[in-house]
Structure 1
């Protein structure tokens, strides 16, 4: 019997199109590291609205993704069949809060990340061979995160001694730095409960239609929790920004 030739090990880059994951791909290309594809999972707010900050989504689809494919790196886009809105409006089926809407996800226990991002990625990973190597964008100056890497996960940023700032500069030089770094130092959905104040302020100032969607959800009755994050309701944040604007107008 003729044995089949062993298939070459796949090398896949996990890609959010942030600075660290794009720098990882650029380093792979620069140093001739094997790389078969980049895998990106897009979280959706509803069936038609992305969870990405609009500037970042435009960067992904209009700049970064076409550029990677021109460089010979195919990009696989994953999506869950569930959206943020599906989960938010879904009802609790057991326990003392049975019948209530799930509402806003809890910081540190985000069901959106679990169901809309991690599950599609894990489902895809199950189709891969066990020896598949995954490049993960963790910089050399992130020791805690580096210690969490599994056996099949590799940080090229660590291998080539790239810090987060080095990764940012590499992407900027290559013309592949997302515009979101003009107002934040992290990636995340525009409805993320971990969003920093400046990220929320950007959403309030530049994307009023998305801001209005969140206020509509805040007004929805029968939720498990009324808080958007650990301390505030979304309507509280809205009121604070309106007060800031009023004070600025008065001062002017």
Structure 2
């Protein structure tokens, strides 16, 4: 049965917010499959996504076109790397510094910019968001005009990934399934990646690891805190691999 939500004070325009990760991609395909109202799909492009994310986007856009669904990409005012490395800032002390550094943890400077741009674009619409049924904390924080259909359909994160695989949608780079080595396929430069994910990037995604080293060479603060710069982590991972090979 097709369910239509009516939100008081909001025009009946239905927009799906998509990152082209497993959850939001599964949500969009299921919205179409279940014939839910869907006028537009939006994607906020940081410019720092894995290539596999853009590949999935390019695979789904024709499906949107076939169903007369508008597709829109939103972008930051400045390229991500400009704000990260170059933009001039004046500290309270009067000192001039350049760039906001890594995004993640307690310093989510770009996350807030992304939210502001997306919220401004969708403020007069009903917004589908790809939050799975087992993401309870995120479900509790939904804004008044946001709907999480995956939760209603009882689709967990694993269910969403399985659904995408079943529909021949994969996130593959250099023969590696990203979801087999990463907990989340977020921006490749995200500071929130844990050490297991970073080690897997070092082992299986050398191109991105090289780019992480390039960023670290221009950012004074270690990516994962004191003693855990990308360069220090590389030495650590090398030792771990050597020890594993001795067993």
Range of TM-score over shorter length: 0.7 to 0.9
State the superposition RMSD in angstroms: 2.7
Q: How many angstroms apart in 1 are the aligned matches of 2:235 and 2:108?
A: 25
Give the Å deviation of 1:204.
Answer: 2.6
2:152 corresponds to which residue?
Answer: 159
1:18 aligned residue = 21
TM-score (norm 1): 0.78
Q: Which runs of 5+ in 2 are unaligned?
A: 1-9, 173-177
Q: Give the corresponding residue for 2:71.
A: 75
Q: Give the distance between the partners of 1:97 and 1:203, measured in 2 at CA.
A: 38
SS, match of residue 59 in structure 1 = helix
Higher relative contact order (CA 8 A, sep 6+): 1
Matches within 5 A, 1:1-252: 9-44=12-47, 51-61=48-58, 63-89=59-85, 90-96=87-93, 98-101=95-98, 102-115=100-113, 117-125=114-122, 130=124, 132-179=125-172, 180-220=178-218, 225-231=220-226, 232-247=228-243, 251=246
Label 1:183 to 1:97 Cα distance change in 2 as closer, same or farther (>3 A). farther
8 A contact 1:134–1:152 mirrored in 2: yes
Q: Distance in 1 between matches of 2:89 and 2:131?
A: 36
**Unmatched 5+ residue regions in structure 1?**
1-6, 45-50
Separation in 2 of the partners of 1:208 and 1:195? 16
Instruction: Tell whether the 8 Å contact from 2:15 to 2:126 is kept in structure 1 after alignment.
Output: yes
CA distance in 2 between partners of 1:183 and 1:97 (Å): 43
Task: For residue 136 of structure 1, report the CA deviation from its aligned partner.
Answer: 0.8
The runs of at least 4 aligned residues of structure 1 exceeding 6 Å deviation read: none
Q: Secondary structure at the match of 2:97?
A: coil
Distance of 2:63 and 2:204 partners within structure 1 = 27
